[in-house]
Amino acid sequence: MFSGIIQSQGKITSISKSDKFQSIEIQSNLKKFKIGSSICCSGICLTVTTINKNKFTADVSLETLNKTNSKNWKKGTILNLEKSLSIGDEVSGHFVFGHVDSIGILKELKMVGKSWFMKIEFPKYLKKYISPKGSISLNGISLTINEVNSKSFNCMIIPHTYKNTDIKTYKINQILNLEVDMLARYAHFSNKTK
């Protein structure tokens, strides 16, 4: 489990792909993790398989390739990184599981004052979990939803988040990993079963 507060950024230094599997090597300055540790890589919970100095490797399964933007990763891709939470850690964002629900598509990104306005299109079936002032994970970043429309939501990005995540590299129509807030999912499920 993660909090959606990005600790570092990593860069894919090599990638081995097949139709149903890929293995990636990531260069990063993350410390104090081991083989078998879970690391959130741009919203996807991946398991560390090897460590070599300032690099680690992780495998990406067919299910993950089908549900996320990992199929578009290549050498040089920048990833948002966060180590898993330990008991007693501060949760500054919200509970992020690294189990991506679907992809979102960036439709607008513009500067407003010193912040950035971002509009994301999402699949219609997720709308029941997305509400104003709720939380959402986008490429592993914990964000607060400002407004929701029939097929899109928007958020405001503060300068610190813009500077310290991959948001500064985004292009219009870019595909992003989207995970709805687990509390919203459980609240909806609970109401449905009453």
Q: Is residue 164 in a domain?
A: yes
CA distance 23 to 131: 36
pTM of the model: 0.91
Q: Is residue 185 in a domain?
A: yes
CB atoms within 10 A of CB 43: 28
Q: Is residue 96 in a domain?
A: no
Sequential pLDDT tens for the chain (194 residues)? 899 999 999 999 999 987 788 999 999 999 989 999 999 999 999 999 999 999 999 999 999 999 999 999 999 999 999 999 877 777 787 889 999 999 999 999 999 999 999 999 999 999 999 999 999 999 999 999 999 999 999 999 999 999 999 999 999 999 999 999 887 776 665 566 55
Q: Is residue 106 in a domain?
A: yes
Q: Which pLDDT score, from 0 to 100, does residue 1 have?
A: 84
Q: Which residues contact 93 (CB under 8 A, 6 or more apart)?
A: 3, 4, 5, 135, 141, 142
User: What is the CATH classification number for the domain harbouring 19?
Assistant: 2.40.30.20
> Which of 48, 83, 118 lies at the terminal end of a domain, its last residue?
83
pLDDT digits (tens, 9 = 90+) for 13-26: 999 987 788 999 99
Give the chain's domain count. 2
Q: Is residue 1 in a domain?
A: no
CA distance 129 to 189: 10
Q: Which domain holds residue 33?
A: 8-83
Same domain, 120 and 167: yes
Q: Is residue 33 in a domain?
A: yes
Q: Which residue has the tokens 């995970």?
A: 179
> Which of 26, 53, 83 lies at the terminal end of a domain, its last residue?
83
Same domain, 31 and 61: yes
**E strands of the chain, at which residues?**
8-17, 22-27, 38-41, 44-52, 55-60, 78-83, 102-112, 115-121, 135-138, 141-144, 147-148, 152-157, 175-180
